[in-house]
Each structure stands twice: as structure tokens, then as C-alpha cells.
Structure 1
Amino acid sequence: MKVDHITIPPGFWAGLNQLEIAPQDIARQAQLPLTMITEAHEVTVDQYFRIWQAYSDLIGDTAIGMIKLAAAFETSQYPPTVLATYHARNYRDALNRMARYKQMCPPESLRITDEGHYCTIDLEWVCSEQSVPPVLIGTTLAFLLELGRRGTGQPLTARSVEFSQSMGDVKALEAYFGCPVRINASSNRITLYQKDLDCSFISYNKELLEILTPVLDQSLDDQRSRSLADKVKWIMKRSLSGGRFDVQAVASELRMSDRTLQRRLTEEGTSYKQLLTQARHEQARKYLADSSLEIKEVAFLIGYEDQNSFYRAFRLWEGDTPSNWRSKYLAEILIPIIWRD
């Protein structure tokens, strides 16, 4: 499956707040605009990894960082994909749901293998050409065990855990997972006991699952059928302020050559240049609707190095200057409010 958008749930920020790490600290460390952190809950792979690396840099030791964050997450503040696992029938059902719904939130995927008395879960990355922050790898595997512990209400332990990179304090990791931890392995995986997977979840909610399951399954089907043009424009919107919106960068994000990308867009009746113009236009309107942003900030956020270039482009799109467009837009919003009052 190709990389699409990555959603950062509110629970992630809630967990960081518990650890006394503010979003602005993450934004500063990751060298991203604060609006990317606080408003755009969907980010590109590169931005996602930079956010996690920023957290790792701020927290210090990788092992301590992943353990603290795994323990701090609040289930209620996570999206339906996580709620569906937390309220599953048992641990096995929860893990299978997690592996299925992970398809909707790349860049990682889970491969579950049953081997006699044990069950191994391999963590794989869709974007294999990019370096994954160790703290993200560790937190993802820790979350799988944390899910079982919270769901069953029992202090479950793993049989073994393997990491392909250095993970900091290994003794702290072994104390958390309750098993030997191997570093510099060939893969990232956690091995669980089959007997634990049959443990019922005290958080099981049949009625909620009957509501969530068909909705999530439909969302997964819809995402699979999403057009390439939609995916390209989404990546563009999330990459404009970072300056990596050239065709090669977007093609790499989708794991295809730039020639293949151009050809497939032509087959869909559009082009890379047209989509870039649409993405910039749509984002410009969105940002201008926010009166707290200065015009020069809007220009930067949609990838223009100077304000004059943005002004010329916006006149072509709307037949007006950004300032006049904003004034008219805000006036249209205020008039109904005034009449209502």
C-alpha cells in the first residue's frame, strides 16, 4: 500500500502535555510552523518523523521516552480506529483489528504470524527509504503490549522484543516489556504468548463495535479507491511550507517514479502543475480566512518565497488582492452574526 496521509490524534498531544512537553516546543525542535502542529492534524511522512524525532530529542533517552508516552496515552482521546481495538472482544481480536485499521494510517504496518505457543508481530514501514526515529518504533511496539494490559486488566509480558536500532536504556526496556530485549536485530518485532491472546477484554463493548466496525470498514474501502490526483494534492498541501513539493519529492512519497506519476495523472485528466496550482489556491483561501495570519505568513505557508509572487498568483485565481479578498470574506461572515444579534 502506498503512503497516504498520516493523522496525529489529539491523544498524542495530550500525552505530551502530561510529560510537560508543549506543542510549540515540538514545532520549534522539528522546525515546523506551529500551525502545522496545532491545526493540521494530518501531516506528511517527513513531517511525522520530524515530530517524533523532536519528541525524542526533548525527552532524552529513547527507551524512557517511549515508555513514558506509552503509559501516558488516554484511550478516550484516540480516534475510532484505536477505540475499536480497545473495546474488542479479546486481545487477539484487538490485535487483528489493529493490523487491519493500520492500513488507514501509514507509514507503518503490522504483520501477525502465529507460531505454536507464540504470536509474533512484525513492524514494517511503507517508506523504507526514510530513517524511522527509534522512539517511534519503540512506542509502536510498546503500545501493542499496553493495549493488552489495559484491555485485559492484567500485567501481561512479552516473550521477546527485537529492535533493529539502538534504543537507549535496554534494562528499562526489559523491565517494561518483562522479557529479554535484543538490539541491532534484523527486524522490529514483539513476540507474545498465545494464551494471553485469548484473554477477554474487560473493556469489551459489543454495542460500540457494532457501530464502529461498518463505518471503519467503509472508510478503509473508500481510502483504497481514492484517486491518485487526490493523494497527490493532499501531499502537496502538507508539504508546501517545507519547500518539498517538486514532482520528484511527491513521486518518492508515493513510491513511484516521476514519469509514472506524470503518466498516471494524465490518464486521470490532470497534471502535476494543475494540481499544484489547485493546492496552493485552496490552501491560500483557507489560511486567509484565519485573520490571525499575516499575508506574508500565508505566502510562506503555501510555498512562495516572496510576497509579490503570491500577490500575482492570487490575482489570477480570484481577480483580487489577498487583503481585499480577506476583508470581503470576513465581512460576509460578520453580517449574519450582526443580523442575528
Structure 2
Amino acid sequence: MVKHFRVHKSLRTRLEEAGAPVSAVLRRAGLPQDLFEQTRILLSTEELFALWRAIGEVSKDPAIGLRLATETRTERFPPMGIAALSTENFGAAIQHMARYKKLSAPEEILHEVDNGEWSIRFRWLLAVDVEPQVLIEHCFAWVLTIARHGSGTRLSPMRVELVQPRAHVKALERYFGCEVICGARHNAMVFRASDAASPFVTRNAELLDMLAPQFEEQLKQHAKEEEDSFLELVRGAIQQRLTGRRPTMGDIARDLHMSSRTFQRKLQNAGSGFQRILDEARHQMARYYLKNSVLELNEAAYLLGYEDANSFARAFRGWEGVPPGHWREAHRATAIT
């Protein structure tokens, strides 16, 4: 999972245009004053929430989140927004954004159709605190900006549902063009299911065909990074368990708080298997023990979960091509030299 949010540098320009002093916002958020000078602006969930809380506190406009999300000039949209506008309709745009959101943030766009209603929600995957109100309003306003700019109409949801109360409900209702309900179970925008088919006048199949392969490649790279991260997590959990006995798949699945079936499926998706990762973990630890300790071979075998030194020696010869004793002497001689 991507653990940081990429913040577009255009946010600084938008804040200045909205009359929110950038230096005051950054100071209130506890972020460096040169944040927007950085080549890539990456924030943790905690830092992102602090930034948006500060925007709400520093700005004199209670609806600042709406203002920062409103855009009418296509050239000022970020690449993912331009790609969304290039799709055939509103529903395709949301599907596109939901699929590729994971490329840039630990965040999900959830959307589902039920009984003729189409709800859209945002979920911050690593959030510990409650998400800032201004951030929620900004995200919903951004969705509406895509919908209206893409369709060329004043498309509006049926209602907007908010968990926390708002003092500026009337301003929200004027902006969204619908009822705003506070005290709801979830923060959600609810459209008519038929709105998903609203055609986009900004559709650009050629541009989308050009952008799609780039996004797909990024998505594949992201998936590979997730798989590598998971395998490293499994390897570490196995090494923690290598204390005199061979850990089982069930042991590691429990340590990682998942069922054995889910654990096995994730290993398969990553192109690996439990025995392979176990061997890799043992190999790594064996090299460490032989190179950095005075353990006898039978002691190392015990710590690695082998029944006896002979079993360990056979495994090690398979990894390195030489017996563990010879490997230790060779590497000790190299270290001395």
C-alpha cells in the first residue's frame, strides 16, 4: 500500500487565490515553510489531515473546501482529473478515479448502486483521527467539479450525507444543489443511478488511449511493490518465529491477523509460496548466524527450526553450494583480509 499522499503544487496557488495565507496554514499545520518548494510533496495521513484542518482554521471562508475544489479550466486539472474528463460518462470517470486513486494515496473511492441510488464515499485507509470536515467537503466538491465540467451541465446529487454537524449547511446546499443531511452514518454523495450514464462533452478517446498505458504501468508497479512489501512482511514474521522450531503457515497467518486461506491466496498472488519464503528466511538467518556469531552448527540448526545439523547442512549446501562450515571459514577469512 502507498503510505503517502502526493500533494499537487497547484494547491498553493489555489490557497493564495482564496485569500488563505500559505505561510500561516503551514505554520498552523506544523509543516515546513518550504513544503511547496519541494520537487515531490509527500505527506502522511496525519500530515494531510493537519494541513486540511489548518486550511479550515486559518481561512475566514467556512466553505473554503468547496472553493479549492472548483475549477473550470481544463488545463489546471491534474493528470488524473484530465484522464477522468476524457472518459465517456460520469460513471466511467468515477470508475477510473477509483481504480487509479491507489497510485497516489492510501485512500479509496467507494461507489455502489442500490435501489436506484448511486452513492460515492471516500475512505482514508491509514486514518487514526476523524477526517477534517473541510477535506470531506473538498473531495465531494471535486467529484461534482468533474461531473459538471465533464457533462457541461449543472448536474447535482440527490443529497449529501454528513456525519458531523455543519454551521454552513445553507452554503453547502447552494453549492451542491441539493439537501444536505447532518448526523448520517457515513459521509456520502448520493446521485440517481441514472446519473452515471451522463455523457461527457469533454470525452477524448485519443487522449485517454495515450494516458491509459502510463496509468496501467504505474498500477502494475504499485501492485508489484505491494507484493514485495507483503513478502518482506511474511519473511520478517517467519524470522521472528525461528526460535527452535519450524513455524507453520497457520502460525504466520495468525501473526499477520488473517485467515490461512487469505494468507495462502496473497502468497499465490505475489507469485510465491510458504515453503519458498520459509527457505528464504532460513537462508538469510543462516548466513547471519554463520558470519556474525560463534554458534556451533548444531546450535544454528536448532535456531533455524531444523531437526538436526545434517538437515541444516543439506539445506545450506543447496543454497550456497558448499557446506556451512566451509562457507563460515571462507567468509571469516574474507572479513579478516
Secondary structure at 1:109's aligned position in 2? strand
1:117 maps to amino acid: G
**What corresponds to 2:222 in structure 1?**
223
Distance in 2 (alpha carbons) for counterparts of 1:269 and 1:82 = 45
Q: CA deviation at 1:3?
A: 4.7
Secondary structure at 2:34's aligned position in 1? helix
Distance in 2 (alpha carbons) for counterparts of 1:110 and 1:118 = 16
Q: Deviations over 1:50-70 (max 9, x none)?
A: 1111111111454x1122112
Q: Deviations over 1:217-260 (max 9, x none)?
A: 1101211211439x99xxxxxxxxxxxxxxxxxxxxxxx89xxx
**What corresponds to 2:202 in structure 1?**
203
1:281-320 matched pairs, under 5 angstroms: none
Q: CA deviation at 1:164?
A: 1.5
**What corresponds to 1:59 in structure 2?**
59
Distance in 2 (alpha carbons) for counterparts of 1:27 and 1:58 = 10
Q: CA deviation at 1:111?
A: 1.3
Structure of larger gyration radius? 2
**What corresponds to 2:300 in structure 1?**
none
Contact 1:91 1:151 in 2 (8 A): yes
Secondary structure at 2:58's aligned position in 1? helix
Q: CA deviation at 1:156?
A: 0.9
1:215 maps to amino acid: Q
1:179-194 matched pairs, under 5 angstroms: 179-194=178-193
1:32-43 matched pairs, under 5 angstroms: 32-39=31-38, 40-43=40-43
Secondary structure at 1:89's aligned position in 2? coil
Q: Deviations over 1:118-142 (max 9, x none)?
A: 2111222212422211100111012
1:123-162 matched pairs, under 5 angstroms: 123-162=122-161
2:95 maps to amino acid: N
Contact 1:84 1:209 in 2 (8 A): yes
Distance in 1 (alpha carbons) for counterparts of 2:76 and 2:7 = 11
Q: Deviations over 1:6-34 (max 9, x none)?
A: 10112322321221334323222212112
Q: CA deviation at 1:194?
A: 2.6
2:42 maps to amino acid: E
Q: CA deviation at 1:86?
A: 1.7
Q: CA deviation at 1:5?
A: 1.9
Contact 2:46 2:127 in 1 (8 A): no
RMSD, aligned α-carbons: 2.8
Distance in 1 (alpha carbons) for counterparts of 2:72 and 2:166 = 20
Distance in 1 (alpha carbons) for counterparts of 2:167 and 2:109 = 23
2:162 maps to amino acid: F
Q: Alpha carbons of 1:196 and 1:29: their partners in 2 closer, same or farther (altered >3 Å)?
A: same
Q: Percent identity?
A: 26
Secondary structure at 2:82's aligned position in 1? helix
1:58 maps to amino acid: V
Secondary structure at 2:102's aligned position in 1? helix
1:1-341 matched pairs, under 5 angstroms: 2-39=1-38, 40-60=40-60, 62=62, 64-72=63-71, 75-226=74-225, 227-228=228-229
2:213 maps to amino acid: P
Contact 1:15 1:73 in 2 (8 A): no
Query: What is the number of residues matched between the two proteins?
Result: 237
Structure 1, unaligned runs of 5 or more: 233-255, 258-263, 271-341
1:114 maps to amino acid: V
Name the TM-score, length of structure 1 as normaliser: 0.63
Q: Deviations over 1:260-280 (max 9, x none)?
A: xxxx9x95979xxxxxxxxxx
Contact 1:159 1:193 in 2 (8 A): yes
Name the TM-score, length of structure 2 as normaliser: 0.64
Q: Deviations over 1:201-232 (max 9, x none)?
A: 11111111001111101101211211439x99
